[in-house]
């Protein structure tokens, strides 16, 4: 057995165990449990001990029996060090050790003697470590957003780490923040405006982009190459450099505080990427189909409606979803163009809410949940289309 | 024959393109050029309103006479800077009523009072008064008179259209605006944000490219920060990082990692003692960069993953036969396969991070050493209300962008040549 592999194996697996236990402790703390210490040294030595015993036992004991023995042993010691923990905490620890024992089960003395075994061990545990850490870091803010929206300011002042939700209380109390933002802050109206603006942007963008993309993909005309490059270059220019001239012109034309003005700007800013994405797809449609259509005396309009559109439903859907997402999430232009609370979009409304220092933070988070949920839902449901949209639209910040 | 066909084709192309090109031109290209124009002018936020003549109508009864009534018009020029020329005034009065001792600037003709007020200077104000008398000696209905609104019109210059130009804005941008500091902050933010998001993108892609339970689920959640609305995410982070009520600080205090709360978004420098040396860390800037990485590594991840999945399996199998370890496989197979994607990603992300406004604006508002060029555009234009300065900073951004894009397309062209 290589000594280097042995050390790496026991050390890295215990670090992994420590990180799992620590994350569990953090989450438990946020349920209002009084935990003060990660007990780094103790957990690490326990982990090293378990991983070494695992090597010694090897295949002599059934995997399940082994895991349960390890888990009970660890949970007992952990329970002895930090006493008076609720039972669910100990069950969680038990579960983590079961998971951990299954992960280290495949290592035995023979295994560690193989060539590159130390590297394999390293890679394997770093992968596990990475999965756990990445999920935690990404999901944690979303988790906090949701649980904060169910708390009250007073409860958070008493114990800023207690995010446990009391499901026993009245449903009206539980969803109080949501009732307040819909009643007092007119969020129902903002949802409608945001939906109207986003769906409107999608429709107008498609109406403008499909013919233009078809022309770029199929037809020959003077300045075609110039146009395709400028589409990309224009797309790189940020909203912030457009803001001042648009603000002045829109003020003078009376287009500020007007959802129509927002629609124009959103359409114009998403058009380049929509054209870029669509023309790439149109190019992949076999030309023979159109040649047959020309024989049948179909004009360009007919070709687009009868041949191109039905064949490019997937591409159009991904463009539509992508544009919807951009319009729904957009903030800068809605900040610049809207200052009348009657015409706010959701993003602008939340920013307006936060401008008042008196606003309790659970309202802010309830608003954030309301604006986030539709996008994440659409994303998860239509992931296939959206991912291809994101990849093709690549350059959008 | 074919000649006419190609002509038709050309014409169709132009027709199909026209709406899109027109819209993009007026909303994107025109403002970029307009920026150049405005940046050479001294314009404040309040100047962009076109001056209007305004009148507030107040109706008062006159003591001891029920058939007479007094109307006071509070006339003013809405602009504090610009004159209005040739102001015309018109108001209707009910039948049976006529004005008494009408001002000489005005004329009365069939229920309508027309006045010609001439030129109004900036800030002009006047209380203009008309006394009305009922011809039959009856009481005048005050409400009826009040319900009619006077009409005013006048000619004025649009400050944006005159031809007075100045270099003041650019002088201020470069010499009075802590320009160097601004530039350095922007580059720190852009560079480290880009590098960080690519490094984490590679790590995440490498992870998801392996087989494990819940892999598709993992791929979905990795993209959450990128697809979520920036407003919601920024405020959530702000709450997490708050020095007093924030979860992060309370957790760190609770587990005794730190002794005193850290104001992660409100403190410019953090001094760290490192082997006897005092290192000054730009704390708020670092936090903002971390948020940036958190939000944008998913894009890098998506690209690199797509590339990794296209790497032929045979390469790895051959490496296995040759007895290469995981590290060697990563260095000599994976890395060369993804360098092209990484360089494209670097350039795209660099340009976009350079332009990033919302994230910093929502997290710190540009305070505590996080003022980047885009934030400065907003600050100059809407906080200090100097539209001209804001435009001048925009021009600096556009100029730098053009340089980046030139480099980008040059490198892209080179790569295309090589392949």
Q: How confident is the model at residue A224 (pLDDT cuts 50, 70, 90)?
A: confident
* pLDDT confidence of residue B1: 47
- The enclosing H or E element of A180 equals helix A176-183
Q: Do A365 and B236 touch (CB under 8 A)?
A: yes
Closest CA to A246 of A347, A331, A336, A339: A336
CA distance B359 to B265: 12
All structural domains of chain B with their residue ranges: 51-155, 177-385
List Cβ neighbours of B218 (8 Å cut-off, separation of 6 or more). Answer: A131, A134, A135, B207, B208, B212
Q: Which residues of chain B have pLDDT under 50?
A: 1, 419
ipTM: 0.90
CB contact under 8 A, A241 and B6: no
Query: What is residue B317's predicted lDDT score, i.e. its pLDDT?
Result: 84
Within 310-339 of A, beta carbons closer than 8 Å to B belong to 325, 328-329, 331-332, 336
- Given a contact cutoff of 8 angstroms between Cβ atoms, the answer to whether B1 and A190 are in contact is no
The domain covering A179-393 belongs, at the CATH homologous superfamily level, to MetI-like (1.10.3720.10)
With CA atoms as reference, report the closest residue to B378 among A3, A240, A122.
Answer: A240
Residue B295 is predicted with a pLDDT of 93
Listed in sequence order, the residues at least 6 apart from B50 whose beta carbon sits closer than 8 Å to its beta carbon are A252, B156, B158
Mean pLDDT of A186-199: 92
The CATH class of the B177-385 domain is mainly alpha
The string of DSSP letters for A221-275 reads -TTHHHHHHHHHHHHHS-THHHHHHHHHHHHHHT-TT-HHHHHHHHHHHHHHHHH
Q: Which residues pair with A63 in a beta bridge?
A: none
Which pLDDT does position A141 carry in this prediction?
93
List residues bridging with B97 in a β-sheet: B134
What residues 101-140 of chain A have any CB closer than 8 A to a CB of chain B?
A: 115-116, 119-120, 122-123, 127, 130-131, 134-135, 137-139
pLDDT category at A395 given cuts 50, 70, 90 is: very low
Q: Let me know how long chain B is.
A: 419
3-state class of B392 per DSSP? helix
Mean pLDDT, residues A188-212: 93
CB contact under 8 A, B19 and A212: yes
pTM for this one?
0.86
pLDDT in tens, A284-300: 888 887 777 777 777 77
Is residue B298 within 8 Å of residue B226, measured between CB atoms? yes
User: Which token pair is B181?
Assistant: 């500091």
- List the single residue in A with minimal CA-CA distance to B47: A248
Task: Report the pLDDT value the prediction gives residue A208, as an integer from 0 to 100.
Answer: 92
Q: Which residue has the tokens 């040059």?
A: B410
pLDDT at position A397 is 43
In this predicted structure, the answer to whether residue A180 has a pLDDT above a threshold of 80 is: yes
CATH number of B51-155: 2.60.40.290
> What's the half-sphere exposure (Cβ side, CA atoms, 13 Å) at B77?
24
Provide CB contacts within 8 A for B229, sequence distance 6+. A328, A329, A331, A346, A347, A368, A371, A372, A375
What are the distances in angstroms from CA B300 to CA A139, B206, B347, B351? 18, 12, 12, 14
Question: What pLDDT score was predicted for residue B294?
Answer: 94
Q: Tell me the three state secondary structure of residue B58.
A: strand
A373-384: average pLDDT? 88
What does the pLDDT look like over A66-104, one tens digit per residue?
A: 888 888 888 888 777 777 778 888 888 888 888 888 888
What's the confidence (pLDDT) of residue A234? 82
Q: What integer pLDDT is reported at residue B415 of this predicted model?
A: 66
CA torsion B295→B301→B303→B309, rounded to 10°?
-160
* Residue B386 DSSP label: B
Q: Cβ A265–B218 below 8 Å, yes or no?
A: no
B277: β partners: B274
User: What are the residue boundaries of the structural domains of chain A, listed by start?
Assistant: 3-158, 179-393
């Amino acid at each position: 057995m290589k000594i280097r592999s042995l050390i790496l194996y026991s050390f890295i697996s215990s670090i992994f165990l420590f990180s799992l236990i620590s994350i569990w402790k953090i989450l438990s703390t946020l349920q209002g449990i009084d935990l003060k210490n990660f007990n780094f040294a103790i957990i690490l030595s326990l982990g090293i001990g378990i991983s070494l015993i695992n090597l010694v036992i090897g295949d002599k004991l059934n995997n399940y029996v082994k895991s349960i023995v390890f888990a009970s042993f660890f949970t007992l010691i952990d329970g002895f060090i930090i006493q008076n923990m609720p039972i669910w905490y100990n069950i969680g620890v038990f579960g983590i050790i079961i998971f951990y024992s299954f992960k280290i089960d495949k290592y035995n003395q023979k295994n560690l003697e193989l060539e590159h075994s130390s590297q394999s061990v390293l890679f394997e545990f770093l992968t596990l470590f990475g999965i756990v850490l990445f999920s935690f870091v990404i999901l944690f803010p979303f988790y906090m957003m949701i649980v904060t929206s169910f708390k009250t300011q007073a409860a958070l002042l008493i114990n800023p780490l207690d995010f446990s939700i009391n499901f026993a209380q009245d449903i009206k109390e539980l969803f109080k923040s949501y009732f307040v933002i819909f009643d007092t802050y007119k969020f129902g109206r903002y949802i409608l405006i945001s939906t109207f603006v986003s769906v409107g942007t999608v429709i107008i963008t498609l109406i403008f982009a499909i013919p233009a993309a078809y022309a770029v993909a199929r037809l020959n005309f003077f300045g075609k190459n110039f146009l395709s490059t400028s589409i990309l270059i224009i797309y790189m220019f940020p909203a912030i450099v457009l803001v001042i001239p648009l603000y002045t012109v829109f003020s003078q034309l009376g287009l500020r505080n007007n959802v129509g003005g927002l629609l124009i700007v959103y359409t114009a800013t998403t058009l380049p990427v929509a054209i870029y994405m669509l023309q790439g797809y149109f190019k992949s449609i076999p030309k023979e189909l159109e040649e047959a259509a020309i024989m049948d005396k179909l004009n360009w309009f007919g070709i687009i409606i009868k041949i191109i559109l039905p064949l490019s439903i997937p591409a159009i859907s991904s463009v539509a979803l992508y544009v919807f997402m951009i319009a729904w999430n957009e903030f800068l232009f809605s900040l610049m163009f809207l200052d009348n609370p009657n015409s706010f979009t959701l993003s602008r409304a939340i920013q307006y809410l936060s401008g008042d220092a008196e606003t309790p933070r659970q309202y802010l988070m309830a608003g954030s949940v309301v604006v986030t949920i539709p996008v994440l839902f659409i994303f998860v449901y239509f992931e296939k289309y959206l991912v291809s949209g994101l990849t093709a639209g690549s350059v959008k910040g | 024959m074919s000649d006419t066909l190609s002509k038709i084709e050309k014409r169709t192309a132009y027709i199909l393109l026209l709406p899109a090109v027109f819209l993009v031109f007026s909303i994107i290209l025109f403002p970029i050029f307009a920026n150049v124009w405005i940046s050479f002018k001294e314009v404040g936020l309040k100047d962009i309103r076109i001056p209007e003549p305004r009148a507030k109508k107040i109706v008062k009864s006159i003591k001891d006479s029920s058939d007479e009534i007094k109307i006071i018009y509070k006339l003013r020029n809405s602009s504090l800077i610009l004159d209005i020329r040739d102001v015309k005034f018109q108001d209707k009065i009910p039948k049976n009523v006529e004005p008494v001792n009408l001002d000489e600037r005005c004329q009365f003709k069939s229920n309508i009072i027309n006045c010609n007020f001439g030129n109004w200077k900036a800030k002009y104000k006047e209380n203009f008064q008309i006394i009305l008398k009922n011809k039959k000696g009856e009481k005048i209905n005050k409400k009826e008179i009040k319900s009619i609104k006077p009409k005013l019109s006048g000619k004025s210059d649009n400050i944006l259209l005159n031809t007075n130009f100045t270099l003041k804005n650019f002088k201020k941008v470069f010499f009075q605006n802590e320009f160097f500091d601004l530039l350095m902050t922007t580059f720190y933010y852009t560079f480290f944000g880009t590098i960080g998001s690519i490094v984490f993108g590679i790590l995440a892609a490498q992870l998801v490219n392996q087989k494990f339970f819940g892999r598709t689920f993992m791929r979905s959640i990795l993209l959450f920060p990128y697809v979520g609305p920036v407003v919601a995410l920024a405020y959530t982070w702000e709450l997490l990082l708050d020095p007093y009520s924030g979860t992060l600080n309370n957790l760190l205090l609770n587990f005794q990692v730190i002794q005193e709360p850290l104001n992660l978004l409100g403190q410019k420098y953090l001094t760290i003692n490192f082997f006897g040396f005092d290192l000054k860390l730009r704390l708020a800037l670092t936090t903002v960069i971390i948020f940036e990485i958190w939000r944008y590594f998913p894009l890098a991840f998506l690209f690199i993953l797509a590339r990794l999945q296209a790497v032929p399996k045979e390469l790895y199998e051959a490496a296995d036969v040759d007895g290469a370890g995981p590290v060697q496989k990563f260095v000599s197979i994976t890395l060369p396969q993804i360098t092209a994607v990484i360089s494209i990603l670097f350039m795209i992300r660099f340009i976009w991070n350079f332009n990033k406004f919302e994230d910093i604006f929502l997290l710190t508002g540009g305070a505590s050493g996080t003022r980047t060029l885009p934030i400065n555009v907003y600050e100059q234009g809407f906080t200090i209300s100097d539209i001209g300065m804001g435009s001048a900073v925009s021009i600096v951004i556009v100029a730098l962008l053009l340089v980046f894009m030139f480099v980008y397309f040059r490198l892209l062209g080179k790569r295309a040549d090589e392949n």
